[in-house]
């Protein structure tokens, strides 16, 4: 709670940011309240997962799919925000590392997009892929189960627009994995660090200091890191939807 209070007090609404990019992001993405058809499809997907009693191998033991889903579920607010980000910026190639459901929200937004799940939990990842393959969703999902081995991304995609970093097994070196992916990142590649306020705080702080990172946006539970060689100045901002600070208008 204390960390959130600190974030809340420091976070800026769009009327208090100097960056045109950030103002545009907050206006067109963060404050977008439109309902897209894919939201209903994701809710149907969630319903299927939360009712699924099938057991799969999870961390060396059998566990019902519905139990795994309960621990990994992306809340609707974050899921719809991820969709709107992908829709607005048309992110085509997405990599999701570790256990999560964030990438599917983003891939749903862009026709003919590609989503690569890098996840050691083979049964879980394949369960997600099998469901998505049976739908009429217009994106390609791929699975790689070897987190600690060399990842040949070039075989699957020419470049990477988004990398999503989730919680991963304790014995996995996230920094090593990221170094493997780094050569495939292009200008304006977005790295999303989930649970940055808790388990991924270290990697969040490390990536912020990377020489190619020119902009970060902190939304408390997750952070956005932008790789851009063209931007000279470095900017680290904590931002918040104006609905959380309705009194913080342009004149105050």
What is residue 98's predicted lDDT score, i.e. its pLDDT?
84
Q: What is the pLDDT of residues 171-216, one digit of tens each?
A: 666 667 667 777 777 777 899 998 877 777 778 888 888 877 888 9
Q: What is the pLDDT of residues 99-120, one digit of tens each?
A: 889 999 999 999 999 999 988 8
How remote is the C-alpha of 23 from its chain's centroid? 20
What is residue 34's predicted lDDT score, i.e. its pLDDT?
94
pLDDT over 80 (residue 21): yes
- Check if the beta carbon of residue 167 is closer than 8 Å to that of residue 99: yes
Q: Of 116, 230, 129, 234, give the one whose Cα is nearest residue 181.
A: 116
Q: Which of 34-38, 82-86, 155-159 bottoms out in mean pLDDT, i.e. has the lowest?
A: 155-159
Band (235; pLDDT cuts 50, 70, 90) = confident
Listed in sequence order, the DSSP H helices in the chain are 2-10, 20-25, 37-51, 65-72, 76-89, 102-107, 122-134, 174-181, 201-208
Dihedral sign for Cα 188, 194, 198, 199, please: negative
Q: Which of 35-44, 79-88, 104-113, 236-245 bottoms out in mean pLDDT, i.e. has the lowest?
A: 236-245
Q: How far apart are CA 47 and CA 44, in angstroms?
A: 5
Q: Which long-range contacts (CB under 8 A, 24 or more apart) does 13-21 make?
A: 13/239, 13/240, 13/241, 13/242, 13/245, 13/248, 14/239, 14/242, 15/242, 15/248, 15/249, 15/250, 16/248, 17/237, 17/239, 19/215, 19/235, 19/237, 21/215
Q: What percent of the chain has pLDDT over 70?
A: 88
Q: Dihedral (C-alpha) 35, 126, 152, 186: value to the nearest 10 degrees?
A: 10
pTM: 0.90
168 vs 41, which has greater pLDDT?
41
Q: Could you tell me how many residues make up the chain?
A: 252
Question: Can you list the domains of the chain with their CATH numbers?
Answer: 2-244 (3.40.50.150)
R_g of the chain, CA atoms, integer Å: 18
Q: Which of 69-73, 85-89, 240-244 bottoms out in mean pLDDT, i.e. has the lowest?
A: 240-244
Average pLDDT over residues 148-160: 70
């Amino acid at each position: 709670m204390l960390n959130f209070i600190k974030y809340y007090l420091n976070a800026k609404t769009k009327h208090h940011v100097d960056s045109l990019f950030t103002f545009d992001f907050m206006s067109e993405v963060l404050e977008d309240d439109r309902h897209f058809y894919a939201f209903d499809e994701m809710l149907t997907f969630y319903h299927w997962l939360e009712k699924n009693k099938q057991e799969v191998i999870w961390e060396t033991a059998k566990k019902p799919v519905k139990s795994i889903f309960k621990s990994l579920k992306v809340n609707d607010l974050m899921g719809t925000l991820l969709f709107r980000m992908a829709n607005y910026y048309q992110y085509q190639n997405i990599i999701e590392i570790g256990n999560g459901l964030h990438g599917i929200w983003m891939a749903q937004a862009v026709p003919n997009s590609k989503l690569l799940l890098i996840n050691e939990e083979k049964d879980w990842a394949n369960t997600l892929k099998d469901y998505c393959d049976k739908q009429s969703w217009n994106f390609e999902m791929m699975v790689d189960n070897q987190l600690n081995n060399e990842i040949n991304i070039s075989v699957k995609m020419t470049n990477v627009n988004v990398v999503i970093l989730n919680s991963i097994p304790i014995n996995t070196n996230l920094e090593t994995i990221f170094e493997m992916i780094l050569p495939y990142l292009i200008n304006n590649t977005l790295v999303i660090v989930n649970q940055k306020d808790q388990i991924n705080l270290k990697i969040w702080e490390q990536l912020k200091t990377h020489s190619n990172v020119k902009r970060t946006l902190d939304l408390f539970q997750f952070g956005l890191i932008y790789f851009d060689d063209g931007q000279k100045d470095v900017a680290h901002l904590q931002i918040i939807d104006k609905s959380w600070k309705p009194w913080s208008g342009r004149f105050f």
